[in-house]
Structure 1
Amino acid sequence: MAKKEQVRARDHDRVEICAVLDAALSDGQLNAGEHATRTRSAMRAKFTTDLEGLVRDLQVPGELAGAAILSGDRAARPWWLPVAVLAAAAVLGGGVGFVARDEPAPSIAAAAEAESEPASLPNLLTTDGLAFFIDAYRREFGDTVIDTATVFPDFLLVQRLGQGIPRNFRFDTDGFDEMSVAVPSYANGRPIDLADIELTTLGAVLAGAPASVRLEQGEVEHLGFGFELIAPADAGPVIDIYVEDPAGSTGHLSVSFAGTPLEVFPAR
């Protein structure tokens, strides 16, 4: 039997799955920890099969049963169930600073057009790409404070508070576009400063992430910056690093903004 072709998930698909997860929390099918884990996975899912796997064992309310993401063939490989293992490694590194600029940030596409070159982004999953984004964010908003962010190689979803109101943006070659889709955040008013990320240390962690989760042939697929729902009130924000190999096996690890390993969820 031919392997089912993977279909890329849309932001709308992720939101529909989050609505199902919210309903499952409210009616007791999921506890708070399960809901938090599945919601994070939903907002960072790459394929529709990953989204379907997050709700396969749930009863779906009638008003949500017609969601487009649920209307197709739901037979797919299940999402991995992580087992927490404390990391046993420390990585040394130094911080990287950025120079603030007063002039407004032109979009990448506009800059490329001015130079008669194709619009392009550095890979946002690298330290150079993250430095590029943080600098662009500072120039766009005047600071480096966010509520949460999800990072893919060629685009990034970020939430920030504007006068106490969450605002959600997609960052890609066109710069920052405001979205109506919310990026789930558990910051509860606690600021997350991107300038606190030790980028050199994070680069070393990213390089070793596939081996850390027992997927030596894997690659980092996406990152998540934010607070954990069930973490203590005095806990700092974390960076979740998600890895996938060519066979579709996945694992992830969490590190502090200083690059200190916190937990590893290896492939099984």
Structure 2
Amino acid sequence: MDRRPDFRAREIDRALTATVLDTAYADGQLTFDEHRLRSERARVAVTLRDLRRLVSDLQIEIDLPEPAPRTVEPKNRLLLALGSVVVVAVTLVVFLTTRNGEEPVPASAVVASTTTSRVVPTVTMDLPVDVIPIVARPFVFDTTAGLDDFRERYVERFGSSQVLEVFIQLNNNRADVYRPTAEGRRERVFVAGGFEVGLDTEAPDTDDATFDWATIDSAVLAGLVAGAPDAVAVPNSVVEYIMITETRGNQRISISTSNEDAQGGRVEADFAGNIVSVR
């Protein structure tokens, strides 16, 4: 990770960092609030440097895999190959037209034709008449209708609105839903154009509780999202993420905002939409 910390983080990098944070919390290096805050930041980290900052003071080794170096064909070699093709084409056209007694075609015309025209093959595919193409409906996370649709599609897919956490990243237009498994473990569902269940599960925090997602009014949540920039007194900020949890018996909707100058704040409300704190 030290070689190129400016590489953009991947999902596997964020997952590895989250595992380290969980371990640090389990052995007492992090408090509950520190673990929660760092875990939130790990989920929205953009670069490997962002992830390193979250674990640099911990007594746990973490080795985030480096992306494979990309190989780029030197521009000079590509230009040389292109030039060779053009020269051969010009020579061939001039030779053929001269041999047949025709006026030679100007070289400039051959070059222009060779370098600007492309033949793009088209492939047609005949679908059976009874096949209907499926077009994925995008998720919308900041309107009443969009939030209702998100929840309804989740419940239709998994058959229950009982969840441990709903985490929405508006800046990336994606979400994570954590749900309890039959064995009582914590399972992550990735939401980005569809639903994808994570391969690994983890033991839930002792302070976390399952809540009924259906008890939250989407209109109330959409109103909190729309009013968050003004509530934190940074009207030009935008909502980055929304987190819905129940911890230690407290039901919380946490909405964080930020702008290009890293100014923003957080609004916390209960499930009824009553604002309990603004930071």
User: Shorter chain as normaliser: what TM range?
Assistant: 0.5 to 0.7
Asked if 1:234 is matched to 2:229, the reply is no
On the 8 A contact 1:144/1:195 being kept in 2, the answer is yes
Q: Distance in 1 between matches of 2:231 and 2:201?
A: 31
Match of 2:257 in 1: 243
Aligned residue for 1:161?
180
The aligned counterpart of 2:161 is: 144
**What is the CA–CA distance in structure 1 between the aligned matches of 2:183 and 2:49, rounded to whole Å?**
36
Q: Which is helix-richer, 1 or 2?
A: 2
2:274 is aligned, of 250, 253, 260, to: 260
**Alpha-carbon distance in 1 for matches of 2:274, 2:51:** 30
- For 1:132, which of 141, 144, 149 is the aligned residue? 149
Per the alignment, residue 98 of structure 2 pairs with none
**One of 178, 184, 187 as aligned partner of 2:197:** 178
Distance 1:13 1:201 in 2: 34
Conserved 8 A contact 1:158-1:183: no
Once residues 150 and 267 of structure 2 are traced to their aligned partners in structure 1, the CA distance between those partners, rounded to angstroms, is 22
Q: Tell me: higher relative CO, structure 1 or 2? Use CA pairs within 8 A at least 6 residues apart.
A: 1
Unaligned runs of 5+ in 2: 67-130
Seen in structure 2, the aligned counterparts of structure 1 residues 187 and 252 have a Cα distance that, compared at 3 Å, is: farther
1:187-206 pair list within 5 angstroms: 190-206=209-225
Please report the RMSD computed on the Cα atoms of aligned residues, expressed in angstroms: 3.1
1:17 CA drift (Å): 1.9
Q: 1:243 to 1:184 in 2, by over 3 A?
A: farther
Q: Distance in 1 between matches of 2:254 and 2:223?
A: 14
Shift of 1:48: 4.2
> What secondary structure sits across from 1:137 in the alignment?
helix
Compute the TM-score of the two structures, normalised by the length of structure 2.
Answer: 0.63
Q: Which has the larger radius of gyration?
A: 2
Distance change >3 Å, CA 15–CA 59, structure 1 → 2: same
Within 5 Å, give how 1:1-268 maps onto structure 2. Answer: 8-26=8-26, 28-56=28-56, 58-61=57-60, 64-68=61-65, 114=132, 119-153=136-170, 154-166=173-185, 167-173=187-193, 175-182=194-201, 186=205, 190-228=209-247, 233-235=248-250, 237-265=251-279
Q: Kindly, what percent of the aligned residue pairs are identical?
A: 25
8 Å CA contact 1:225, 1:240 repeated in 2 = yes
- Counterparts of 1:141 and 1:172, CA distance in 2: 16
CA distance in 2, matches of 1:126, 1:6: 34
SS in 1 for 2:153: helix
Please report how far the alpha carbon of residue 241 of structure 1 lies from its aligned counterpart in structure 2 after TM superposition: 0.9
Aligned position for 1:105: none
Structure-2 separation of matches of 1:224 and 1:183: 19
Q: Structure 1 residues 208, 234: CA separation in 2 closer, same or farther (over 3 Å shift)?
A: same
Deviations 1:172-194 (A, max 9, x none): 22x22111255885476732111
Q: Flag the 1:18–1:241 CA change in 2: closer, same or farther, 3 A.
A: same
Taking structure 1 as the reference length, what is the TM-score of the superposition?
0.65
Note the C-alpha offset of 1:257.
Answer: 1.3
Unaligned runs of 5+ in 1: 70-112
Cα pair distance change 1:188/1:239, threshold 3 Å: same
Query: Secondary structure at 2:260's aligned position in 1?
Result: coil
